[in-house]
Structure 1
Amino acid sequence: MPSQDISNAIIATTRNALPVLDRAPSPPTGWPADPVGSYCLDAAQRAILFLDVLRQRGNNALEYAARDAPNVLSYDVELVLHGHDLDRPVNYGLVRIVPPPGAVVDERKRPFVVFDPRAGHGPGIGGMKHDSEIGKALEAGHPCYFVGFLPDPVPGQTVEDVCRAEARFVEEVAARHPAAEGRPVLIGNCQAGWQVMMMCAIRPDLPGPILLVGSPLSYWAGIRGQSPMRYLGGMLGGTWLTSLAGDLGSGIFDGASLVTNFEVMHPENHYWKKLYDVYAKVDTEAPRFLEFEKWWGSPVLLNAGEMQYITDNLFVGNRLSTGQLRTSDGLRIDLRNIRSPIIVFCSWGDDITPPPQALGWILDLYERDEDVVSGGQTIVYTLHPSVGHLGIFVSGKVATKEHGELVQCMDLIDLMPPGIYEAVITEVDEDTANPQLVHGRYLFELEKRSLDDVRALVRNNPADDARFEAVARLSEVNQGLYATLARPLLRAMATPAAAAAQRALHPDRLRFTAFSDRNPWMAAVGPWAEMVRRDRRPADARNPLSALEHLASDGIEAWLKACANTRDMLVEQIFLSVYGSPALQAVLGLAAENGGPPRRIEREVVREASVVARRAEAEAAVARGGAIEAFVRAVMYILRPGGRVDERGFAALQELGTMLPEHERPGLACFKEIVRQQFVALEADEERAIQALPRLARSEEDRRRVLAGLDHLLSLRPPLLGEQEARLQRARGLLEPLAARRPMRGHVAADTAKADR
Structure 2
Amino acid sequence: MTAPADEHVETDQPLDRDPTAVQTEAPSPDPAAYLRGYHATAAVRGAAELTKGAGYVLRRAFEQSTTPGRNTRDAQRWWRHVMTRRRPQWHNDQEIVFETPIARLRDFSQGSTDDVVPTLVLPPQAGHDSCIVDFQPRQSQMMVLRECGLTRAFTLDWVGATRATSGTTISDYIAVVDRAVEHCGGRVNLVGDCQGGWLATIYAAIHPDKVNTLTLAGAPIDFHAGETPIGASSRVMTQRFGQLPYRAMVAAGGGNMPGAFVLGGFIAIRPEAEIAKHVDLLRNLDDPGAIARYEAFEDWFKHTQDVPGTFYLWLVEHLFAGNELINGELEVDGERVDMRNIACPLFLLGGATDHITPPVQVFAAAEHVSTPADQVTKRTAPGGHLGLFMGNQALRHEWPPLMTAVAEHSRPHGGRRSA
Task: Please report the TM-score for the alignment, with normalisation by the length of structure 2.
Answer: 0.76
Counterpart of 1:80 (choices 87, 97, 100) is 97
Counterpart of 1:241 (choices 245, 270, 282) is 245
Q: State the distance in 2 between where 1:407 and 1:148 align.
A: 21
Q: 1:252 to 1:94 in 2, by over 3 A?
A: same
Counterpart of 2:267 (choices 263, 270, 273) is 263
Work out whether 1:131 is the aligned partner of 2:127.
no
* Aligned residue type for 1:152: A
Q: State the distance in 2 between where 1:210 and 1:194 align.
A: 11
Q: Is 2:166–2:310's contact at 8 Å kept on the other side of the alignment?
A: no
Deviation digits for residues 527-554 of structure 1, max 9, x if unmatched? Answer: xxxxxxxxxxxxxxxxxxxxxxxxxxxx
Q: Shift in Å at residue 239 of structure 1?
A: 2.8
Q: State the distance in 1 between where 2:170 and 2:254 align.
A: 19
**Aligned position for 1:359:** 363
Which has the larger Rg? 1
Counterpart of 1:310 (choices 308, 315, 330) is 315
Q: 1:195 to 1:247 in 2, by over 3 A?
A: same
Q: Shift in Å at residue 392 of structure 1?
A: 1.1
Q: Is 2:170–2:332's contact at 8 Å kept on the other side of the alignment?
A: no
Q: Shift in Å at residue 387 of structure 1?
A: 0.3
Q: RMSD of the TM alignment (CA)?
A: 2.6
Q: State the distance in 1 between where 2:360 and 2:118 align.
A: 30
Identical positions, percent:
24
Q: State the distance in 2 between where 1:239 and 1:397 align.
A: 39
**Aligned position for 2:76:** 48
Deviation digits for residues 564-595 of structure 1, max 9, x if unmatched? Answer: xxxxxxxxxxxxxxxxxxxxxxxxxxxxxxxx
- Note the 1:430-441 alignment, pairs <5 A: none
Deviation digits for residues 341-389 of structure 1, max 9, x if unmatched? Answer: 22110022101000111122444x37xxxx764xx993221112x3011
- Note the 1:441-520 alignment, pairs <5 A: none
Q: State the distance in 1 between where 2:154 and 2:232 align.
A: 36
* 5+ long unaligned stretches in structure 1: 1-33, 65-70, 85-90, 176-182, 416-653, 659-666, 669-757
Q: State the distance in 1 between where 2:346 and 2:70 align.
A: 53
* Aligned residue type for 1:93: R
Q: State the distance in 2 between where 1:372 and 1:75 align.
A: 34
Counterpart of 1:382 (choices 379, 399, 416) is 379
* 5+ long unaligned stretches in structure 2: 1-61
* Aligned residue type for 1:92: A
* Aligned residue type for 2:266: F
**Aligned position for 1:278:** 281
Deviation digits for residues 229-260 of structure 1, max 9, x if unmatched? Answer: 32111332343211111223332221222222
Counterpart of 1:165 (choices 176, 179, 190) is 176
Q: Is 1:341–1:414's contact at 8 Å kept on the other side of the alignment?
A: no
**Aligned position for 1:633:** none
Q: State the distance in 2 between where 1:320 and 1:164 align.
A: 18
Q: Is 1:120–1:300's contact at 8 Å kept on the other side of the alignment?
A: yes
* Aligned residue type for 1:138: R
Q: Is 1:95–1:145's contact at 8 Å kept on the other side of the alignment?
A: yes
* Aligned residue type for 2:123: D
Q: 1:414 to 1:380 in 2, by over 3 A?
A: farther
Q: State the distance in 1 between where 2:406 and 2:161 align.
A: 35
* Aligned residue type for 1:163: I
Q: Is 1:351–1:388's contact at 8 Å kept on the other side of the alignment?
A: yes
Q: 1:404 to 1:361 in 2, by over 3 A?
A: closer
Q: State the distance in 2 between where 1:255 and 1:392 align.
A: 21
Q: State the distance in 2 between where 1:159 and 1:391 align.
A: 27
Q: Is 1:105–1:138's contact at 8 Å kept on the other side of the alignment?
A: no
Q: Is 1:229–1:351's contact at 8 Å kept on the other side of the alignment?
A: no
Q: Shift in Å at residue 283 of structure 1?
A: 2.0
Q: Shift in Å at residue 200 of structure 1?
A: 1.3
Q: Shift in Å at residue 82 of structure 1?
A: 1.8
Q: State the distance in 2 between where 1:174 and 1:138 align.
A: 18
Q: Shift in Å at residue 35 of structure 1?
A: 4.5
Q: Tell me, what secondary structure is at the counterpart of 2:269?
A: coil
**Aligned position for 2:107:** 96
Q: State the distance in 2 between where 1:312 and 1:207 align.
A: 27
Q: Shift in Å at residue 155 of structure 1?
A: 4.2
**Aligned position for 1:111:** 118
Q: Tell me, what secondary structure is at the counterpart of 1:38?
A: coil
- Note the 1:690-709 alignment, pairs <5 A: none
Deviation digits for residues 44-88 of structure 1, max 9, x if unmatched? Answer: 33212112213432xx2xxx3xxxxxx53212332212224xxxx
Runs of 4+ displaced beyond 6 Å: none
Q: 1:140 to 1:372 in 2, by over 3 A?
A: closer
Q: Tell me, what secondary structure is at the counterpart of 2:92?
A: coil
Q: State the distance in 1 between where 2:223 and 2:94 align.
A: 34
Deviation digits for residues 587-643 of structure 1, max 9, x if unmatched? Answer: xxxxxxxxxxxxxxxxxxxxxxxxxxxxxxxxxxxxxxxxxxxxxxxxxxxxxxxxx
Q: Which of 1 and 2 has higher RCO (CA within 8 Å, sep 6+)?
A: 2
